[in-house]
Amino acid sequence: MNKTAEIKKAFRSAFPNTIPILTGFLVLGMAYGVLMQVKGYGTLWSVLMSVMAFCGSMQFVAITLLTTAFDPIQAFLLSIMVNARHLFYGISMLNKFKGLGKIKYFLIFGLCDETFSIESSVSVPENINKKYFYFAISLLDYLYWIIGTLLGSIIGKFIKFDTNGLDFALTALFIVLFVEQIKSKEKIFPGVIGFFAAAAALLLFGADDFVIPAMVLIMAILLVKNISDKKSFSSENEFSNHSE
């Protein structure tokens, strides 16, 4: 099979996994485009922001930064705090992205929350090139966001309405992805851990500072569980070998 055929096959296989992101990102991107238009930033600036930044929640936050007195240090620190969770995403995807060549740089750039949710949980189908499969998911999600932004910025020129609450669309998409994840029996435990770790961090650190502590707590619990599972597996093998 030649390279073009492999890529086409990977895109056909990847597309069904991205349908929830397609519907979510079109709505979210449109909401972002409308908000940018309302704040005085035209289609070109809205689309360029989505093409260059592609950071979802931070793009919504950036609207406020763009419409107030600009403080580069504050913007830098805020960006790190809002997107710090991506450090954990990157660490957990090291093995999956290993050996994928130059494509991995785009995969790193496109590793948003929703793409991570898919790529961390989906299994690459048989006879599908892993590199092109992950690339297809990342590229499709990226394009959905850009198209949504373009549509929203155009619509925002002609439709005037109260935009309060539009940014909640991002939270709504996270809820949908979470529900989809825990439908699988294998994903219930991480989902439950994530929920209670986030709730505990929220109570201890407050709404403004709970994300990073929650992620650290989740990683620590899952790491302990992983070590425990490996020890249990080793003990079972040892017992089996002695029995024989």
- pLDDT tens column, 10-60: 999 999 999 989 988 998 899 889 888 888 888 999 999 999 988 877 888
- Work out the burial of residue 167: count CB atoms within 10 Å of its CB; fewer than 13 is exposed, 13-18 middle, 19 or more buried: middle
Q: pLDDT per residue over 101-122, tens digit each?
A: 899 999 999 998 889 889 888 8
Predicted model pTM: 0.71
d(CA 134, CA 11) in angstroms, rounded, equals 9
Q: Quote the pLDDT of residue 243.
A: 54
Residue 166 tokens read as 């539009």
Provide the pLDDT for residue 217.
86
169 near 32, Cβ under 8 Å?
no
CB 43 within 8 A of CB 147: no
Share of the chain above pLDDT 90, in %: 25
Over the chain, what is the mean pLDDT? 82
Q: How far apart are CA 55 and CA 196, in angstroms?
A: 26
Given a contact cutoff of 8 angstroms between Cβ atoms, the answer to whether 174 and 113 are in contact is yes
Residue 149 pLDDT greater than 90, yes or no: yes
- Measured in whole angstroms, the distance separating CA 233 from the mean position of its chain's CA atoms is 32
